[in-house]
Structure 1
Amino acid sequence: MSDKAKRMTGVLLVLTGVVLSLAHILAPVHNDGIVYRTGCGSAWQLSGIPVKEAGIVRINTAGEDELETLPGIGKVYALQLIEERNKNGPFYYPEDLTAVHGIGNGTVKKLYQYINLTVE
């Protein structure tokens, strides 16, 4: 394959990646008539779990003790979550929790089924 053909193939692969990334970011996720779009393009599918069901924590109103019931969240992270919430306002998207030092995408994925992001 010539150098020109290799470069054109590389350009096409990059452009394909860009188009697919943009399509993923711009595509809304629908659930119960509400459109949810994440800040970094990740699709977070909400489940129909009632808020009052055991194990669901309202992350934007929960106190330290309630936050500590979440898997992987101890006293330090609970206090940091409260501090972040008080300083910068409510968490709107699950990935907003990564603003707390030490909470990464893996932790957020583990917490997702246990949290409710309702802002009241």
Structure 2
Amino acid sequence: MTGVLLVLTGVVLSLAHILAPVHNDGIVYRTGCGSAWQLSGIPVKEAGIVRINTAGEDELETLPGIGKVYALQLIEERNKNGPFYYPEDLTAVHGIGNGTVKKLYQYINLTVE
């Protein structure tokens, strides 16, 4: 019985380690999250077509689900708080949620110059 308990304890501890938050050296998502989860964090992306940190209103409007209002809000957010480093940062704009970020992911480029 003791052996089974030790094995189960080891499994629980290893799962806790896998799912524990990882601090990311002071980077805070705009949504207020100061740490990323090891298994769910989305890496910085550079392969998309639209450079979200430099694009103008017309270029932002080419993105799926982004019209004039969201384009202007993205530009305002970028000007006010600096560049977007992670796709999740786009959710700082009211009305852009995780579903929209998933749709935009393949089209955006988060390169910061």
Fold shared by both chains (TM-score > 0.5): yes
C-alpha spacing 1:97/1:64, structure 2 compared with 1 (3 Å): same
Structure (1 or 2) with the greater helix fraction: 1
What is the aligned partner in structure 1 of residue 98 from structure 2?
105
CA apart distance, 1:107: 0.1
Q: Distance in 1 between matches of 2:105 and 2:45?
A: 16
Matches of 1:16 and 1:38 in 2, distance apart?
35
Report if aligned partners of 2:52, 2:110 keep a CA contact under 8 Å in 1: yes
Asked if the contact 1:93–1:117 (Cα under 8 Å) also holds between the matched residues in 2, the reply is yes
CA RMSD of aligned residues (A): 7.5
- Give the unaligned 5+ runs of structure 1: 1-7
Alpha-carbon separation, structure 1, partners of 2:70 and 2:6: 41
Q: Deviations over 1:3-42 (max 9, x none)?
A: xxxxx99999999999799868779999999999999699
Q: TM-score, normalised by structure 2?
A: 0.62
Q: Which moved more, 1:31-40 or 1:95-104?
A: 31-40
Q: Which has the higher contact order (CA 8 A, sep 6+)?
A: 2
Partner deviation per Cα, 1:36-58 (whole Å, 9 max, x = no partner): 99996999999999999997100
Structure 2 unaligned regions, length at least 5:
none
Q: Distance in 1 between matches of 2:32 and 2:8?
A: 22
- When normalised by structure 1's length, the TM-score is 0.59
User: What pairs up with 1:20-99 in 2 under 5 angstroms?
Assistant: 56-99=49-92
How far, CA to CA, are the matches of 2:48 and 2:29 in structure 1? 23
The alpha-carbon distance between structure 1 residues 19 and 112, as it changes in their structure 2 partners (threshold 3 A), is farther
Can you list the C-alpha shifts for 1:66-111, whole angstroms capped at 9, x where unaligned? 0000000000000000000000000000000000000000000000
Q: Distance in 2 between matches of 1:101 and 1:10?
A: 52
Evaluate the alpha carbon distance shift between residue 51 and residue 90 of structure 1 in structure 2; reply closer, same or farther with a 3 A threshold: closer
Length, aligned pairs only: 113
